[in-house]
Amino acid sequence: MKYFNFIIIFLISLFFLSGIFAYPHLPEQMASHWNSIGEVNGYMSKFWGVFLLPLIAVILFALLYFIPRLDPLKENINHFKTEYQWFIVGINLFLLAIYVWTLLWNLGMKINSNVIMPVGIAFLFYDIAKLLSKTKRNHFIGIRTPWTLSSDIVWDKTHLLASKLFQISSLIVLIGILFSQWAWLFMLVPIIANCIYIIIYSYYVFKHLKEEK
């Protein structure tokens, strides 16, 4: 993707610039965790409240950027390099949105977490879905079961299904906004159901393929 490095540097810079700008106006103990009904149930010091998530974003980007280079099948990763780069951008956008919301909350703008989180998770699920639809067999990115890693056919079929499931899940998560108190269930249940079904499906495709041979 053209300008990928520039986009990432810009997003990482926004983390630190937002934190530095807000720092003098923030309380010494910042709200850092919210329960399932949107009430604060955790705090941390101002320094870590401001700089922990930006540091996590930097470390996560480094991992996502460098680890695929170690993959014996890295040539396959090159086939969906653009989609993978957009995925990294999406992860950083998600974290940046959560970070800015946290800063705003601690500055007095109490936006309900059960609205912000479903929107963010829905975006993240859709971002994952777009990536899964293009991935080729590798050891770091995608649905890595013993059966998908053993066959390109099993890999492709499993990822096509997984992409559709995550797209559907993104819509289900958004519906959770209408049921604020239970929004966490609309986020948690789809991801658990997806993981279980996808693992079973990958085995089913592998077994069916083996029987055909």
- 168-193 per-position pLDDT tens digit: 999 999 998 888 788 889 999 999 99
Closest CA to 202 of 124, 144, 132: 144
Residue 107 and residue 197: Cα distance in Å, rounded?
42
Q: From 52, 45, 42, select the one nearest 27 (Cα to Cα).
A: 45
Per-residue pLDDT reduced to its tens digit, 18-41: 999 999 999 999 999 888 777 888
**Which residues are registered as beta bridge partners of 5?**
none
Which residues are CB-neighbours of 129 under 8 A, at least 6 positions away?
162, 163, 164, 165, 166, 167, 170
pTM of the entire structure?
0.90
